[in-house]
Amino acid sequence: MLGFIARRLLYLLPVLVAVSLLTFLIASLLPGDLAYVILGDQATPEKVEALRHDMGLDQPIWWRYIGWLGHVLEGDFGRSFRTGQTVLQAVSERLPVSLELMFLAEILGLAIGVPLAIACAVRSGSAFDRFMTGSAFGMLSVPTFLSAILLIYLFAVQLHWLPATGYVPFEEDPVGNLRFFVLPALTLALAEWPGIMRVLRSDMIATLQEDYIALAKAKGLTSSRILFVHALKPSSLTLITITGINIGRLIGGAVIVETIFALPGIGRLLVSAIGTRDLVILQGVVLVVAGGFVLMNFIVDMLYAVLDPRIRHGHA
């Protein structure tokens, strides 16, 4: 097990370095010099030159990368030249909102997807199964921003049940906080459940044909116990796989959903940084998100190895 972790860590390192390099290059090589952006209309060649020198922009690119990476490793991701806030401050303020959103969305997605998958697997081939499989396929074609609009129209504009936009911190008003999160999380969950259901359903259909399920039936166990305990257990690996694959889409979805529902999360920080051309924040957020994404994938890989010994000892 330790050897496996060490091998994966060795692989993780170059990927992280490459991610940081790419993030840095996007910000540095593409047109639009930071000095021009900061100076705006008042840019004269002399001022630009002076600022470039102050910021070290006249140094060779690899030297700037090493310097930047050194700062990043010390936890200094830079400071917004618009608000004066450090990237770390801005991110740590907003990260909890995004994490809460993604957590609630995944829980909701599982809450919809898992029971449906089981119901479909038990009666595979029935009208219900075909209807749900078809609906899941249709839902895969509904973009997040589309279901967001639909939910806002239904629950906020027509029924006035829930607020369309806004946010209060959980510490101040837990119920109000959750009320603001219902629609955004549901929006993301609507994109999550079809994938969960489709994969889990086909997994379950295979599992239900195993001998030990027949044995459990013969022992006289209740069908709910057989389904939720015996049949769901071997599918836990599948569920983790889907969750792992979903993370990237969840992050992307969170950007859109946070913007639509005005939740002050990482995604909204990113979009507003793009709007104000706040390149330092943008670079920092991209690095944090991509780094976090790589680490999450690493953790998912580790979970695999814990759950499935074949991966640990196999060809990996």
Partner 1 sequence: MATLELTIDEDVVAGPVARKRRLGPLFWAAIVWMIFVFAAAALASVLPLPSPTDMDMLERRAPASMLHWLGTDGLGRDELARLIFGARISLTVGVCAPVIGITIGGALGMLAGYFRGRFEQIVVGSMDVLLAFPPLILALAVTAYLGQSILNLTCILGVLGIPTFMRVARAATLTLTRREFVIAAQALGATHARILLRELLPNVLLPLLAFFLLGVAVFIVVEGALSFLGLGVPPPISSWGSMIGEGRESLDVAPRLAFLPAIAMFLTVLSFNLVGDTLRALTDPRQGAL
* Amino acid making up residue 113: G
CB of 219: closest distance to partner 1 in angstroms? 30
Per-residue contact flags (x/-) with partner 1 for residues 89 to 128, judged by CB under 8 A? ----------------------------------------
Check residue 142 and give left, alpha or beta (phi > 0: left; psi -120 to 50: alpha). beta
Q: Which is nearer to partner 1, 18 or 299 (CB)?
A: 18
The whole-angstrom separation of Cα 155 and Cα 183 is 8
- Provide the 3-class DSSP secondary structure of residue 182: helix
Residue 265 burial (10 A CB sphere; 0-12, 13-18, 19+):
buried
Number of residues that bind partner 1 (CB under 8 A): 47
CB of 244: closest distance to partner 1 in angstroms? 12
- Provide the 3-class DSSP secondary structure of residue 86: strand
Which helix or strand (DSSP H or E) is residue 139 part of?
helix 127-139
The candidate with the shortest Cα–Cα distance to 101, out of 176, 194, 181, is 181
How many residues are present in the chain? 316
Q: Which is nearer to partner 1, 26 or 50 (CB)?
A: 26
Per-residue contact flags (x/-) with partner 1 for residues 31 to 70, judged by CB under 8 A? xx--------------------------------------
Give the interface segment with partner 1, choosing from 21-29, 59-67, 178-186, 304-312 (CB under 8 A): 21-29
Figure out which of the listed residues 2, 10, 13, 30 binds partner 1, where binding follows CB under 8 A.
30
Q: Record the tokens describing residue 157, joined without a space.
A: 């504009």
Residue 254 burial (10 A CB sphere; 0-12, 13-18, 19+):
buried
Give the interface segment with partner 1, choosing from 1-9, 13-21, 97-105, 224-232 (CB under 8 A): 13-21
Which residues within the stretch 152-191 sit at the binding site for partner 1 (CB under 8 A)?
152-153, 157
Figure out which of the listed residues 18, 107, 299, 306 binds partner 1, where binding follows CB under 8 A.
18
Q: Which is nearer to partner 1, 135 or 177 (CB)?
A: 135
Q: 152, 259 in Cβ contact below 8 A?
A: no
Q: Which residues contact 205 (CB under 8 A, 6 or more apart)?
A: 121, 124
Figure out which of the listed residues 55, 162, 290, 300 binds partner 1, where binding follows CB under 8 A.
290
Per-residue contact flags (x/-) with partner 1 for residues 186 to 215, judged by CB under 8 A? ----------------x-------------
CB of 66: closest distance to partner 1 in angstroms? 19
Q: Which residues contact 272 (CB under 8 A, 6 or more apart)?
A: 278
Figure out which of the listed residues 5, 178, 294, 300 binds partner 1, where binding follows CB under 8 A.
294
The candidate with the shortest Cα–Cα distance to 181, out of 140, 150, 151, is 151
Which residues within the stretch 227-286 sit at the binding site for partner 1 (CB under 8 A)?
247-249, 251-253, 255-256, 259-260, 270-271, 274, 277, 279, 282, 286
Q: 27, 282 in Cβ contact below 8 A?
A: yes
The candidate with the shortest Cα–Cα distance to 254, out of 113, 103, 88, is 103
Per CB under 8 A, residues contacting partner 1 are 14-15, 18-19, 22, 26-27, 30-32, 137-138, 140-146, 149-150, 152-153, 157, 202, 247-249, 251-253, 255-256, 259-260, 270-271, 274, 277, 279, 282, 286, 289-290, 293-294, 297
